[in-house]
Amino acid sequence: MFFKVILECGHVGAGNCHEITKFIESKDPVTAFQIAGRMGMVKKKKGLRGVKLLKRISPEEYMYGKGLHPNTEGFSTIRWKDLKSKRSAPTA
């Protein structure tokens, strides 16, 4: 199952936050909720853990959201590990 999650994040003052969207693959909604609540930067509120929305989505929507679909425009398909491997070695 695939899920779109909107999370409250950040330390931007008392009662303030910013929202981010994450795309999660999980076996069920409860596990997806737990994964989302344990992500870095997520506000750790009592019980809700800063999760504002948990919505089941199709595999196609998941791939678009992750930037993995070949027809995706505006999303980067380059992963961090790919960038690290393309860096040139430092010269002396």
Domain residue extents for the chain: 2-82
Residue 5 CA to residue 51 CA, distance in Å, equals 7
Q: What is the pLDDT of residues 6-44, one digit of tens each?
A: 888 877 777 778 888 889 999 999 999 888 888 878 877
What is residue 27's three-state secondary structure? coil
Phi, psi dihedrals of residue 80, rounded to the nearest 5°: -55, -45
Q: What pTM value is reported for the model?
A: 0.66
* Residue that wins the pLDDT comparison between 84 and 23: 23
